[in-house]
Structure 1
Amino acid sequence: QKLKVPFNPDEKNSKINKEYDPEINCGGIPSDTNDIKWVGQKDHYKWLPNLDKNIVVSPRRRKLCYYGLDGSQNHHELKYKLFRGAANEGYNLGIKYNDYKNHYGVDPCRALQYSFYDYKHIIMGTDHLEDDNSGTNKSIKVSLKNLKVSNGKEMDDKGKRKKFWDDNKDCLWRIMKCGY
């Protein structure tokens, strides 16, 4: 299946993803500098009561494109949705280069690297913004349930997540750079 970039185009400018869509959070960082804020548990992430009060989340991470990972049913679907999100994330970073350069305080290439590692944390189950047993974490666990190693041995969830990441990280990075 071909990856579409942008996959959620804005009605006014079809070359960008919709910046504000309550269902598909893949618009990249806000263009309005007033919306570029780092937020923590008390400001935004109230559903994560165990989130350390000292952790604040960048606007780039808040708008990280991982739409559809929640509904993945198997590792093939998970891979497609991860790659689609990563391509759009790279694309968003590329088209919003000046927003990053002038307002965000992070070099766009560094932001690309940070997003790559955010995907790693989501896949590995170590993302602080995901509850262990619901949402994206639960879907990833379901998606990887039947993943096996080449020798046919069973693995625990952590092992399956690591295998999936190791098998796909190089391609994911290339996709992000191509999107950029």
Structure 2
Amino acid sequence: MIALIKYNGGNVSSVQNALARLNINSIITDDPDLIIKADKVIFPGVGESSSTMKVLEEKGLNALIPSLKQPVLGICLGMQLMCGNNEEGNTKGMGIFDVDVKQFPPEDLVPHMGWNTISDLKSPLFSGIEDNTDVYFVHSYYCGLAESTVSVCDYILPFSASLQKDNFFAVQFHPEKSGLTGSKILENFIKL
């Protein structure tokens, strides 16, 4: 069973639809027992950091997610909330990844929205995917480069397009909106 974490953020149903196109069944839930029993967990996200973290805290999910032992995939806001301090709403993240989340400097178009290239691919998530592949981004905040960085994107500055540490994986881009490449990334995650 694949559990998609339910909270006040958007995008959960579009991730579920992307999995359905791969003939992968999933449930959307905030039930800790179902999340713990799931084979894989996906923490999708579109929303604002501080209000989302408040909802996660109310449900106890902020403590549950870092304790999970199965593969966990954070997407966009999900990735950012798995990190350390976040400049959006001065939010304290879950600290799974030792990297802070910062706002892009206003030197270019922000938010970073649309297709962009990822490189330096170093994760099983990218099995069968060529370096310098395009994926779809929508974000105004970014995770800097860190020891856990497993792909890089350059927009205004180089940042972590994805992170990996132990059983935790995270992507800043939206695989569910990234065409065949995104489908392959989701498929690779499910096969872990």
Greater helix fraction, Structure 1 or Structure 2: 1
Report the TM-score range of the alignment, normalised by the length of the smaller protein. under 0.3
Higher Rg of the two aligned structures: 1
Structure with the bigger percentage of strand = 2
